[in-house]
Amino acid sequence: MTLEITGLSVRFRNEPPLFAPLDLHVAAGEVTTVMGPSGIGKSTLLDAIGGHLVAGFTMTGSVRLDGQEVTHLPPEARRIGLMFQDAALFPHLSVGDNLAFGLAREIRGRAARRAAVEAALEQAGLAGLYERDPATLSGGQRARAALMRTLLADPQALLLDEPFSRLDAARRAAMRDFAFAHIRDRAIPALMVTHDPADAEATGGPVLSLTTEMPGG
Amino acid sequence: MGAALHAVSGVAPSSPGRALRLVVLLAVAGGVILPILAGLWETARAGFGILPAIGAETLSLDPWRMLADLPGLGTSLKLTLLTGLGATALALVLAAGTCAAVHGRMSVRAGGRLLTPFLAAPHAAVAIGLAFVLSPSGWIARALAPLAGWDRPPMLITVNDPWGGALILGLLVKEVPFLLLVMLSALSQIAVARHIAIGRALGYGRGIVWVKVILPQVWPLIRLPVMVVLAYSLSVVDMALILGPSNPPTLAVMLLRLFSAPDTAMLLPASAGAVLQGVLVALSFGLLLLVERGGKRVGLWWLRRGGRGLSAEPGLMLTSGVTATVMIAGALGMLALVVWSLAWRWSWPGMLPESWSLRAWMAPGTGWGRALWHTVLLAFATTGLALALAVAWLEGEDRARMRRARWAEALIYLPLLVPQIAFLYGLNVLFLRFDLSGGMAAVVWAQALFVFPYVMIALSDPWRALDPGLPRAAAALGAGPWRRLWAVKLPVLLTPLLTAAAIGVAVSVAQYLPTLFMGAGRIATLTTEAVTLSSSSDRRVTGVYATLQAGLPFAVYAAAFLIPVLAHRNRRGLQGGGPGA
């Protein structure tokens, strides 16, 4: 499984592109980090890859997953998972039902699906918390639940948007290890946006800086 | 200095704050809640045979027997449920689908501006306009005439149809924009874009994410407004008179006929019917809660199955298409009012009159001048009263540093949840006993019962969104609580205050039953006259009244939009709708 990006750039309406055209190859199980100044469009880059660009933004270039062109697919057909810093668990569902929402359709039958969710909760150190209100979880628990929800959908690639920036230093290291271990185990390519050099270091993967395009260059 | 220290330190609520809250609470309890309860009580007493004014003094079930013996009661009840539940369910589906389809593609402010005319237009004017458009000699039939080969208006029953279709359409024109606005404001409290991105990244289509993730979060925020729509649709009088089936009509119209029958003995079964109307609405609320419970279980079962499903996009397209059609029909109706008021000769099947005339407008002395004057007077009096009470309530909350309790929120909605006909007659009985009925003051008060909740609801969110730093800064400079209110809060909140006032005026102008009952039929407003005229054959005069009736709230909304633009033209921080808009 690889994620290949060629000549990708994004612009808002008729404004100049946010960043210089980007070429990127992320190998299976590898985490590539994207850094760059605020406002350059790091999150927008992830939106473009995942297919979540807001009205007004257009992209050029291509996104390929394992050699398959996904640029023109809607986000729900791309199988590219998404993680935000605030976890974005659905507040009206229990922790377990959040995971059940993510769990791939291939696992059928009430009992089997319930068991899969319980197993994922256990893996994330959340055993027995199926019925809990996500608002009552700690920051680290929330982040782990959100990661499990994403992984249960069986994604072919993962996008991480400052996933650990809301966590304190101790939790951050633990969560990082947890996330990267899962990425390696599943051998999926991941792209992470972050401000924290320590995050980048911990990936052991390549680091990429987004830059604006020089006028005339 | 003392005031400054006090405001910043946040110690126990000041006694003036407590006094203000007490005054407001007493005003709302004595002016709004008690009268409604007393009205319900008097209506119920009359429904069980006790109405001393006509010499009925023995408790009995005779009124109910008389009611049950009325011809067509069963059909009437069926029609009431069909139109009331049908319009509410349809409005909800259309609003939810349209919201999902346009959200993110249209800004809330642009959407709000598009919806404003529909929110401002009184129900009766919308109904009359729709009747003009739908009738066999209306625009739709005229447009179809060349295709269908009609050389005269077709013999079709399009308005007052026995199924209540025209009534449901009329209700939709008013209720869909209302629910859309309510949903848009609820959505601003939810991380919609993020949840949709998450849902889609997990493999769900946009429409499915709306149904499974967004709408369940929206529902608790719109439940009360939906109940308002339900209660209204089940008990609407003016629209049902104009568009609804006439023989038998819906329950509320049947009751109005009984209440105004020359034979005073009919007041007893009418009161029993008013109680029945109340029970019907209460049962519908129960049904709504049952459906909510069931929906939650089914929804959770569906969600846990994890089906990514088919795209719901065609459904969203369909609902927004139907919504657009409904709103175009409403807009055409508004236009038809103006055209008819100016038409002179307009023969079949021309799309426009052959000759125009101002004749219908030329004689204000004969009627519309007086009705307009009454309407304006009532609108400004009720809105002023409601606005003062709302500001006092919100300021009291600020000074006492308290969030609104749930029961207080429910109290505000109460007048909108009880069907008007269930308590207005009983209230009138009380008024007659104290010789208060038939005067302007009684009508102002009766209208304010319905104006106050809307003004309060419109003002609450922007008031709470006010930057708390502003009054705090003023306090630190030595401004006391009253000066903070007059010199800081109210000027900064000018836009939402004017918007709330415009809503208040629109609600007041639209009131039919309170004006009719409390005015004892003696106070003619544009609305009461327009409803009476709607059954006459002179569309020109009807058009004049309905145009004025719709035009007055439009003008006030325009003023509410323009005044802040002018007043704040050199204040960029206050432009763009003000806080919370």
To 10 degrees, the CA torsion angle through A134, A139, A141, A146? 70
State the average pLDDT over residues A61-71: 93
B466 vs B484: CA distance, rounded Å: 13
If we measure between CA atoms, which residue out of A102, A98, A152 comes closest to residue A123? A152
B396 vs B20: CA distance, rounded Å: 6
Using left for φ > 0, alpha for ψ between -120 and 50, and beta otherwise, residue B438 falls in left
Residues of B in contact with A56 (CB under 8 A): none
B134 vs B406: CA distance, rounded Å: 43
CB within 8 Å: A101 and B213: yes
In a domain, B456, yes or no: yes
Q: How far is B292 from chain A (nearest CA, A)?
A: 14
Is any Cβ of chain A less than 8 angstroms from the Cβ of B406? no
Domain count of chain A? 1
Q: In terms of residue numbers, what domain contains A162?
A: 3-94+154-209
Q: Nearest by CB to B306, which of A47, A101, A159?
A: A101
Is any Cβ of chain A less than 8 angstroms from the Cβ of B213? yes
**B463 in the same domain as B333:** no
Q: The complex's ipTM?
A: 0.87
**B96, two tokens:** 């939810």
CB within 8 Å: A100 and B306: yes
Residues of B in contact with A131 (CB under 8 A): none
Neighbouring CB atoms inside 10 A of B443's CB total 28
B76 Cβ partners below 8 Å, 6+ apart? B248, B249, B250, B251, B254
Question: In 3-state terms, what secondary structure has residue B254?
Answer: helix
- For every residue of B480-516, DSSP letters joined together read -HHHIIIIIIHHHTHHHHHHHHHHHHHHHHH--HHHH
A70 vs A50: CA distance, rounded Å: 9
Residue B256: C-alpha distances to residues A40, B277, B300, B404 (Å)? 66, 12, 44, 37
If we measure between CA atoms, which residue out of B478, B397, B391, B392 comes closest to residue B13? B397
Q: How far is A197 from chain B (nearest CA, A)?
A: 26
CB within 8 Å: B197 and A75: yes
pLDDT score recorded for residue B576:
55
CA B368 to mean position of chain CA atoms: 24
In a domain, A183, yes or no: yes
Q: How far is A215 from chain B (nearest CA, A)?
A: 32
State the average pLDDT over residues A92-119: 94
In a domain, A160, yes or no: yes
Residues of B in contact with A153 (CB under 8 A): 201-203
If we measure between CA atoms, which residue out of A124, A184, A191 comes closest to residue A157? A191
B537 vs B333: CA distance, rounded Å: 17
DSSP H or E stretch at residue A9:
strand A3-12
Question: In 3-state terms, what secondary structure has residue B7?
Answer: helix
State the average pLDDT over residues A90-99: 94
A192 vs A159: CA distance, rounded Å: 6
In a domain, A85, yes or no: yes
Q: Nearest by CB to B202, which of A86, A153, A159?
A: A153
B424 vs B522: CA distance, rounded Å: 16
CA B462 to mean position of chain CA atoms: 20
**B480 in the same domain as B377:** yes
In a domain, A179, yes or no: yes
A105 Cβ partners below 8 Å, 6+ apart? B203, B305, B306, B307, B308
**B105 in the same domain as B79:** yes
CB within 8 Å: B201 and A110: no
B39 vs B422: CA distance, rounded Å: 8
- For every residue of B270-329, DSSP letters joined together read HHHHHHHHHHHHHHHHHHHHHHHHHHHHHHHHHHHHT---S--HHHHHHHHHHHHHHHHH
**B549 in the same domain as B471:** yes
Q: How far is A206 from chain B (nearest CA, A)?
A: 24
**B86 in the same domain as B234:** yes
Instruction: Output the average pLDDT for chain A.
Output: 90
If we measure between CA atoms, which residue out of B439, B446, B444 comes closest to residue B521? B439
Residues of A in contact with B305 (CB under 8 A): 105, 113
Is any Cβ of chain B less than 8 angstroms from the Cβ of A97? yes
B233 vs B167: CA distance, rounded Å: 10
Tell how strand A57-65 and strand A68-69 pair up. Answer: antiparallel
Residues of A in contact with B212 (CB under 8 A): 101
Which regions in chain B score pLDDT beneath 50? Answer: 1-13, 577-581
In degrees, to the nearest 5, what angle opens at C-alpha B136 toward C-alphas B133 and B137?
Answer: 70
In a domain, A180, yes or no: yes
B558 vs B113: CA distance, rounded Å: 11
In a domain, B431, yes or no: yes
In a domain, A158, yes or no: yes
Angle between helices B62-69 and B34-47 (to 10 degrees): 80
**A47, two tokens:** 């939106």
**B249 in the same domain as B384:** no
In a domain, B13, yes or no: no
DSSP H or E stretch at residue A59:
strand A57-65
Q: Considering chain A, what percentage of its residues have pLDDT values greater than 70?
A: 98
A169 vs A177: CA distance, rounded Å: 13
Which residue has tokens 């199980």?
Answer: A29
CATH number of the domain encompassing residue A185: 3.40.50.300
CB within 8 Å: B308 and A51: no
In a domain, A193, yes or no: yes
pLDDT digit string, tens, across residues A195-211: 888 888 888 889 988 88
A182 vs A83: CA distance, rounded Å: 14
CB-side neighbour CA atoms (13 Å) of B564: 23
B443 vs B527: CA distance, rounded Å: 13
CA A202 to mean position of chain CA atoms: 16
B156 vs B572: CA distance, rounded Å: 56
In a domain, B274, yes or no: no
Is any Cβ of chain B less than 8 angstroms from the Cβ of A54? yes
In a domain, B237, yes or no: yes
Is any Cβ of chain A less than 8 angstroms from the Cβ of B198? yes
Phi, psi of A26 (to 5 degrees): -110, 120
Neighbouring CB atoms inside 10 A of B328's CB total 12
pLDDT score recorded for residue B249:
95
Strand order in the sheet with A57-65: A22-26, A3-12, A57-65, A68-69
Buried b vs exposed e over A146-180: b needs ≥16 C-beta within 10 Å? bbbbbbbbbbbbbbbbbbbebbeeebbeebbebbb
**Any idea how long chain A is?**
217
Report H helices in B403-483.
406-417, 420-433, 440-465, 469-476, 481-483
**B528 in the same domain as B434:** yes
Domain count of chain B? 2
**B431 in the same domain as B339:** no
Instruction: Classify residue A211 by its DSSP letter.
Output: -
State the average pLDDT over residues A144-173: 90
Q: Nearest by CB to B304, which of A75, A97, A153?
A: A97
If we measure between CA atoms, which residue out of A2, A22, A49, A23 comes closest to residue A189? A2
CATH number of the domain encompassing residue B401: 1.10.3720.10
Handedness of CA B540, B542, B543, B545 (dihedral sign): positive
Question: In 3-state terms, what secondary structure has residue A32?
Answer: strand
Q: In terms of residue numbers, what domain contains B405?
A: 1-7+367-572
CB within 8 Å: A76 and B303: no
**B55, two tokens:** 């010499």
**B164 in the same domain as B203:** yes
Among chain A residues, the shortest Cα distance to B311 is held by A76
**Any idea how long chain B is?**
581
Residues of B in contact with A162 (CB under 8 A): none
Q: How far is B416 from chain A (nearest CA, A)?
A: 28
In a domain, B404, yes or no: yes
CA B302 to mean position of chain CA atoms: 35
Q: Nearest by CB to A76, which of B203, B303, B304?
A: B203
Tell how strand B56-57 and strand A207-209 pair up. Answer: unpaired
Buried b vs exposed e over A77-93: b needs ≥16 C-beta within 10 Å? ebbbbbbbbbbbbbebb
**B332 in the same domain as B463:** no
Report H helices in B10-105.
15-28, 34-47, 62-69, 73-102
**B108, two tokens:** 């809330």
In a domain, B577, yes or no: no
**B479 in the same domain as B346:** no
Is any Cβ of chain B less than 8 angstroms from the Cβ of A73? no
Residues of A in contact with B213 (CB under 8 A): 90, 101
Residue A83 pLDDT > 60: yes
pLDDT score recorded for residue B381:
97
Which residue has tokens 């980090």?
Answer: A33
In a domain, B267, yes or no: no
Is any Cβ of chain B less than 8 angstroms from the Cβ of A104? yes
In a domain, A42, yes or no: yes
Domain termination site, one of B332, B357, B382? B357
**B478 in the same domain as B389:** yes
